Amino acid sequence: MTSLLEGAKKLVTRSSDVGARVDGLERAAEGARGRVDDAVVDEAAAVAARASSRLKLSADHTVVALAGATGSGKSSTFNALSGIELAAVGVRRPTTSWATACVWGKQGAEELLEWLGIPARHQVTRDSMLSKADEDVELRGVVLLDLPDHDSTEVSHHLEVERLVQLADMLVWVLDPQKYADAAIHDRFLKPLAGHRDVMLVVLNHIDTVPEDRRVSMVEDVRRLLDADGLAGVPVVPVSARHGWGVDELRGMIAARVAEKKSTRSRLEADVRTAAQRLEEAVGSGKVPTLSKERVAALDDAFADAAGVPTVVKAVSDSTRMRANRATGWPVTAWFSRLKPDPLKRLHLDLGAAGKQLTGTARTSVPKATGVQRARVDTEVRALADQVGEGMAPSWASAVRAASVSRLPDLGDRLDRAVADTDLGAARIPAWAGAVRVLQYVLILSALVGAGWLALLAVGSYARLPEPPTPEVGGFALPTLLLVGGILLGLLLALVCRWLVAATARKRARAADRRLRDAISEVSGELVVAPIQAELASYAAVRDGLTTALR
């Protein structure tokens, strides 16, 4: 067990770069889940899981799988390499879906064999044999697998071959002169494994059955087919397992690769690279886009228009004018203005002194968005999603579009609540208006005093009573001055204040507009921008993971 743990530790340490690639592929698959084709994502996740598991197993052993069709002499080659009659040959081969394993140096390989799913009854340890030939030392650390025939009529055989081909560190394909060009092995296995050429060997067995003058050309023809499969550089070894021709060369090539301790790393790198490339094709290789400030601003404007912000802002302006004019206007005419309803009250946005909603609800009477306004919202949402999705793969661009509209059904309520909860700043009249109100009441009181005084003088004159002395100011009788001056100054003050009221109304309208748009921006951020940014974050994680996996 100590040796096993040390072996696993060596593999993880030696393959730290591979480990990072595996982690990158795993992150990319996780981020792409639900956004690209599930089959591609499942494949990437499965490759990452297999590679991660292999990294935790023995570094001292290399799994070499012999694969081939019925009659290719795969089992004969297996026996020739092992030096013992381990696998039954020809018609004597048992009908089983299990592979046979021969292990050189079993210590530390138990967990690896368990991971491979090879039952104990199908395992043979080479170092348990009496022979201690040089090849035993040469192949120490090899786990040689004899796979079922890939063209077997048994479905279980096909599944076992496909499973172990995915797990093996090194693949040796055994062909025969009769079926080496069979499309079954080329289309199903060799072409899809074009990225694994560094961990593959091809054996042309039964070379003894080929006339001597045709052997070289046949090997060249196999070479040509492999090049067409994308496997240029994969060695082709002519062998006759029956007579032992080429077996030593084959054993030497396997031993050399095992001695380099690179097969496991190369296989994992090839698996990760192939899966990452397929995932990248589905995801796209474009840079991570950023949200355009102009497009977001246009979206906010469309939301504000749909929320009735211009209507509310006008109501704030009109309400401010009405309340301030009522406070600063001539009291006689200002009283009649109370008969007009407040614009904010009509929208159920009347604010109390604390600046909070008086109605206690989030519903307003702001007119609902018109068809044109809703269409503008849809257009801006689509434009933002299209701008973000530009350069992405179609499936991911579709995911961005789906995310952008995923929460739009909540739009009406959220906009209404945002408007209702916004402090519009119209709770109180300006401080200067309060002072003017006091002055207006002083002036109207003066006018009333003057009117009353003149009335008393008129009654006395009518009753022929002695006329009391009447004070004068600047040649004008004081009662007349109080009456006329109170009225004229009150009206003049009201007219002057209208300019101040208009300026205040504009200022408050701008402030209300800013606050409302900030609230609406939060809604657009929550309902549209945040879901898109979540997709961009996932896309960035996928691109980062793929960059790591493919570096």
Provide the pLDDT for residue 1.
Answer: 37
Q: In this predicted structure, what is the pLDDT of residue 99?
A: 85
Q: What percent of the chain has pLDDT over 70?
A: 85
Give the phi and the psi of residue 14 in degrees, each rounded to 5: -65, -30
pLDDT(18) > 70:
yes
4 — pLDDT class (breaks 50, 70, 90) = very low
CATH topology of domain 60-260: Rossmann fold (3.40.50)
- Predicted confidence (pLDDT) per residue in 250-266, tens digit: 999 998 888 888 888 88
Percentage of residues in the chain having pLDDT higher than 90: 28
Supply the pLDDT for residue 546.
92
Give one DSSP letter per residue of 126-165, joined into a string: GGGSS---HHHHHTTTEEEEEPPPTT-S-HHHHHHHHHHH
Instruction: Read off the pLDDT of residues 363-399 as tens digits, 9 standing for 90 and up.
Output: 677 778 788 888 999 999 999 999 888 878 888 888 8
Lowest mean pLDDT among 210-219, 256-265, 527-536: 256-265
> What is residue 263's predicted lDDT score, i.e. its pLDDT?
86
> Mean per-residue pLDDT for 135-152?
83
DSSP string, 53-88: HHHTS-SS-EEEEEEE-TTS-HHHHHHHHHTS--S-
Mean pLDDT highest for which of 50-54, 328-332, 344-348, 411-415? 50-54
First vs last C-alpha separation in the chain: 35
- The model's confidence at residue 352, banded by pLDDT at 50, 70 and 90, is very low
Average pLDDT, the chain: 81
* Least confident piece of the model among 163-177, 339-353, 437-451, 456-470: 339-353
- Cα–Cα distance list, 524 to 68, 381, 516 (Å): 61, 10, 12
| 131-135, 240-244, 367-371: the lowest-pLDDT one | 131-135
pLDDT given for residue 96 in this prediction: 44
Tell me the range of 329-343, 475-489, 501-515 where mean pLDDT is highest: 501-515
Which tens digits make up the pLDDT trace of 446-469? 878 878 877 777 776 776 666 667
Residue listed under structure tokens 């070379």: 207
Query: CA-CA distance, 233 to 199, in Å (whole number)?
Result: 11
Segment 292-348, tens digit of pLDDT: 899 999 999 999 888 888 888 888 887 777 777 676 666 766 666 666 777 777 777
For residues 67-90, average pLDDT:
78
In the block, residue with structure tokens 């090539």: 253
Residue 148 to residue 313: CA distance in whole angstroms: 79
Residue 504 has pLDDT above 80, yes or no: no
Q: What mean pLDDT comes out for the span 468-477? A: 72
Show the 3-state SS of 386-412: HHHHCCCCHHHHHHHHHHHHCCHHHHH
Out of 26-40, 172-186, 192-206, 332-346, least confident range: 332-346
Coil, strand, or helix at residue 195? helix
Going by pLDDT thresholds of 50, 70 and 90, the confidence category of residue 130 is: very low
Distances from the Cα of 368 to the Cαs of 304, 415, 419, in angstroms? Answer: 12, 10, 12
Angle of helix 530-550 relative to helix 394-405, nearest 10 degrees, comes to 150
**Residue 235 has what pLDDT?**
93
Looking at residue 115, its pLDDT comes to 92
- The pLDDT of residue 218 is 93
Tokens at 162, concatenated: 């496909």
pLDDT at 133 > cutoff 60: no
Domain boundaries, the chain: 60-260, 293-550
Residue 354 has pLDDT above 50, yes or no: no
Q: Is pLDDT at 496 greater than 90 in this prediction?
A: no
Least confident of 1-5, 244-248, 287-291, 537-541: 1-5
Mean pLDDT is lowest, of 8-17, 219-228, 336-345, for 8-17
Which helix (H) or strand (E) element contains residue 417?
helix 411-421
The overall pTM is greater than 0.75: no
